[in-house]
Structure 1
Amino acid sequence: MSASYARVLRIPHARRAFTTALLGRLSYGVVPLSVLLAVTRASGSYAVAGAVMALFGATVVVLAPARAALIDRYGPPRALVPMLAAYILLLALLTVAVWRPGAPPVLLGALTTLAGACVPPLGPTMRTVWGRLTEGDKALLQRAYSLDGVAEELLFVSGPLLVGVLVGVAAPVVGIVVGAALMVAGTAGFVRSPAVRAVPPAGSSASSARGDRGGRRVLGRVRRPVVAAAAVGLALGVLDLLVVVFAEAHRHGGASVAWVLAALSAGSAAGGMLNGAVDWRVPAPTRLALLTLGLGLALLGAGLAPGIGTLALVMAGAGFFVSPAVTTAYLIADDAVAPEARTRAGAWVNTAVNAGSTGGTAAAGALAGQLPVAVCFAVTGGVVAVTAVATMTKGARGRGALRGGAAVV
């Protein structure tokens, strides 16, 4: 670990808040897959399981800014504890419902939809805490966000692996219980951290009321990083399916797909760590556009790879831009709003990545059946590249407003 990242972890109370948040966030990689497997087993239908998970994902993504607004308004402890209680109760009811086969699909859909609406937003809240802990030091905040992003990506890889171990020795419903326990332990430790308790609520004062009205414009202030983040999410969603199609076209098995996607994650982790260690002179908006453009150009040539090994190398190169782009989007969003709106700003970027990924998977499914895989890669890369150019153009026109205008809560 470089001295810069060691400095991040030496900030008073940072290590406790970060580790407990990561413990709870590990649940994000455990619960969805466990629910999918448990619902499939209980209903005996892939269609029911797919519909249930679509509802779960929709409420997680769509309502993320609303949950973040509660964090901003009431403070992390007062908002996270009720969310946690509701989320765990709903997971417990879902566990009972899928314990034996024959549960009504409507009941399963209702429970998962409500559970998705109550997921505690530990990621956006931790980024708000990082903003306060770094006390305006932009270079230190960049390192903190990079460290946070790489750690989160590793959690989303290790979560499904943990589920794989669990289902090898127990029923899938046990994974739901383990995921719930991780969320309880992580959130309980997180809200008791001095760094988290020091985050003030916006409250209900007159200035806060004005901030709430201005909060409707938060998305407008962070539109550029949100658009770029959506493009990155789109690329990730498309790649999950196109790599499978590429492997089948070249007569490779599922193991090769796992290696290619692992190369993508490894490249992203390496890029994220390097991005955080460098003191960039290039302004963040320009950097975001260039990183997104780099991702698009990498995807343009991915379909021309002659074999699965070459594709893995290309995916590692493409991944090199992913984590830095998302981290930079968070930095721009954080800088565009007042401290009382940081959680909402970060949640919009997070929502954009998730929504883009969902849309990308759907688009890839439609394109893969109609076009050669090389063309699908090229179309995806073109869309990402065009988005990068558009954000760069908007950034040049709006730079004065971003730097000189008053922040909107």
Structure 2
Amino acid sequence: MSPSSPAPSRAPSYAAVLRTPHAARAFGSALLGRLSYGMVPLSLMLAVNDVTGSYSVAGTVMALFGATSVFLSPARAALIDRYGPRRALPPMAGSYAVLLAALAYVTWRPGAPPVLLGVLAMTAGVCTPPLGPVMRTLWSRLVPERELLRRAYSLDGVAEELLFVTGPLLVGVVIGLTVPAAGVAIGSVLVLVGTLALVSSPALRGGGAAPATAKEAGAGQDAPGRQRLLGVVGVRHAALVAAAVGLCLGGLDLLVVAFAEQHGRGSAAAWVLAALSAGSAVGGLAHGAVPWRASNRARLPWPAVGLGAALAVAGLSPDVYVLAGVVAAAGVFVAPALTTAYLVADESVAEGVRTRAGAWVNTAVNAGSSVGTAAVGLLVDRLSPVVCFAVAAVPALLCAAVVFRAPVARGAVDRAGTARDSVSRP
């Protein structure tokens, strides 16, 4: 759909997104599989700690699991782009589910060797199916209007946010009834069932996400054939903003816990973080509902500015109640920032590499979160809360400044081939 195309005849809505043929089934299937990602990390950490009695081992196992899952996401997405989700997803999900089942089995009772746990966790991370990037690519094919697509991405982002709140709550229910390893086993079932339901849905059976052509598969590569998607300005800026959001959120999680403990309200940290998720959900829904006139690229840095400003103010909170309110306000900018980043990445590349482009954004936010937690962990015992919150705000403000200064290309897809804006959407 060209930027000069007339506005759609009907006002887009979230209901219209779900009324798109085959969208509700595909979306529901993807969410079912993605619920596993909200349950498995906490379940696995608790299960490993339970059977080894060591937080050090649990932390190492989770680091191996998280590193392979996050940093190999673009490689797995490349397989999706090359072979199509119907061929590439089932082997990934099947392997991932089997390895999770193996982890559940060996952590059901004490005595599991730490080396075995590390190997299984690392291998499982390698196989993690990229259901989020696949669903976002599918949205770009299913939804025929750009305004409706923005709503679809907002709905997807808010739903994913809620999954990562619901997942740990379900783990709490599970460990109240049985051992933590049961949560890992449930996660293996969820991801397998959700993936198989997704690839068997009419949205994919009808060719909604076909394998890339040879020309499309080569988009974003240099002469020797190495992938250069981060050489595409839109993808690079989207990943930069996503990484900044991840850095802020990773640092914020730890700062909230430290702040609550310093004020003698350690248990209130969970409620403050819940306020963050609630704010993100509200912001995501509002962002999708507003008929923006500015392009996605022009809007990209603004939510990062809002997030950074809110974090800087959060350090001045006199108590946890005020902190919860300010953190909720910060959350309002989180979902819009990530939604816009995914949209910019999607519209900046040729059709055959969109899953990979989205995976780079996904990798950036997750990697940023891990680095942010580690960095703030080094500072929180040495600096005052005001300074720590200000430091946590710097990545968002700095990355926003970088994106602001960069020229906005009109319809160009730097090295990735044909601009999406000049291509009619199916």
Give the TM-score taking structure 1 as reference length: 0.95
Q: Is 1:248–2:261 an aligned residue pair?
A: yes
Say whether the 8 Å CA contact 1:166–1:172 is kept in structure 2. Answer: yes
Q: Secondary structure at the match of 1:304?
A: coil
Which residue does the alignment assign to 2:36?
27
- Mapping of 1:259-274 within 5 angstroms? 259-274=271-286
**Cα distance in 2, alignment partners of residues 69 and 240 from structure 1:** 31
Which residue does the alignment assign to 1:402?
412
Aligned counterpart for 2:327 among listed residues 295, 315, 319: 315
Q: Is 1:343–2:321 an aligned residue pair?
A: no
Aligned counterpart for 1:42 among listed residues 39, 47, 51: 51
**Cα distance in 1, alignment partners of residues 327 and 391 from structure 2:** 16
Structure 1 residues 212 and 376: CA distance shift in structure 2, 3 A:
closer
- Displacement after TM superposition at 1:208 (Å): 4.9
AA partner of residue 170 (structure 2): L
Aligned counterpart for 1:171 among listed residues 174, 179, 188: 179
**Cα distance in 2, alignment partners of residues 130 and 279 from structure 1:** 19
- Displacement after TM superposition at 1:212 (Å): 7.1
Aligned counterpart for 1:364 among listed residues 376, 400, 407: 376
Q: Secondary structure at the match of 1:213?
A: coil
AA partner of residue 365 (structure 1): G
AA partner of residue 161 (structure 2): E
**Cα distance in 2, alignment partners of residues 96 and 146 from structure 1:** 38
Which residue does the alignment assign to 1:218?
229
Say whether the 8 Å CA contact 1:272–1:324 is kept in structure 2. Answer: yes
What value does the CA root-mean-square deviation take over the aligned residues?
Answer: 1.7
Q: Is 1:232–2:245 an aligned residue pair?
A: yes
Which has the higher mean CA deviation after the structures are superposed, 56-65 or 190-199?
190-199
- Mapping of 1:269-348 within 5 angstroms? 269-348=281-360
- Displacement after TM superposition at 1:3 (Å): 6.2
Structure 1 residues 229 and 168: CA distance shift in structure 2, 3 A:
same
Structure 1 residues 65 and 302: CA distance shift in structure 2, 3 A:
same
- Displacement after TM superposition at 1:407 (Å): 3.6
Say whether the 8 Å CA contact 1:218–1:408 is kept in structure 2. Answer: no
Say whether the 8 Å CA contact 1:146–1:324 is kept in structure 2. Answer: yes
Say whether the 8 Å CA contact 2:217–2:352 is kept in structure 1. Answer: no
Q: Secondary structure at the match of 1:211?
A: coil
**Cα distance in 1, alignment partners of residues 220 and 318 from structure 2:** 54
- Mapping of 1:112-261 within 5 angstroms? 112-135=121-144, 137-197=145-205, 198=207, 199-203=209-213, 205=214, 207-208=215-216, 210-211=218-219, 213=221, 216-221=227-232, 222-254=235-267, 256-261=268-273
Residues 125-162 of structure 1 deviation map (CA, whole Å, 9 limit, x = unaligned)? 00010000013x21111000000000000000000000
Which residue does the alignment assign to 1:78?
87
Unaligned runs of 5+ in 2: 1-10, 421-426
Residues 30-61 of structure 1 deviation map (CA, whole Å, 9 limit, x = unaligned)? 11111111111111111000000000000010
Residues 217-245 of structure 1 deviation map (CA, whole Å, 9 limit, x = unaligned)? 21221100100000001111001000011
**Cα distance in 1, alignment partners of residues 36 and 319 from structure 2:** 35
**Cα distance in 2, alignment partners of residues 72 and 402 from structure 1:** 21
**Cα distance in 1, alignment partners of residues 35 and 186 from structure 2:** 10
Which residue does the alignment assign to 1:109?
118
**Cα distance in 1, alignment partners of residues 101 and 13 from structure 2:** 42
**Cα distance in 1, alignment partners of residues 29 and 262 from structure 2:** 43
Say whether the 8 Å CA contact 2:136–2:153 is kept in structure 1. Answer: yes
Q: Is 1:59–2:72 an aligned residue pair?
A: no
- Displacement after TM superposition at 1:315 (Å): 0.5
Residues 81-132 of structure 1 deviation map (CA, whole Å, 9 limit, x = unaligned)? 1101111221122222222211111110000000011011110000010000
Q: Secondary structure at the match of 2:21?
A: coil
Q: Which has the higher helix share?
A: 1
Say whether the 8 Å CA contact 1:297–1:382 is kept in structure 2. Answer: no
AA partner of residue 326 (structure 1): L
AA partner of residue 371 (structure 2): G
- Displacement after TM superposition at 1:408 (Å): 8.1
**Identity level (%):** 58
Residues 260-302 of structure 1 deviation map (CA, whole Å, 9 limit, x = unaligned)? 1111111100000000011101221221111111111111111
- Displacement after TM superposition at 1:403 (Å): 6.5
Give the TM-score taking structure 2 as reference length: 0.91
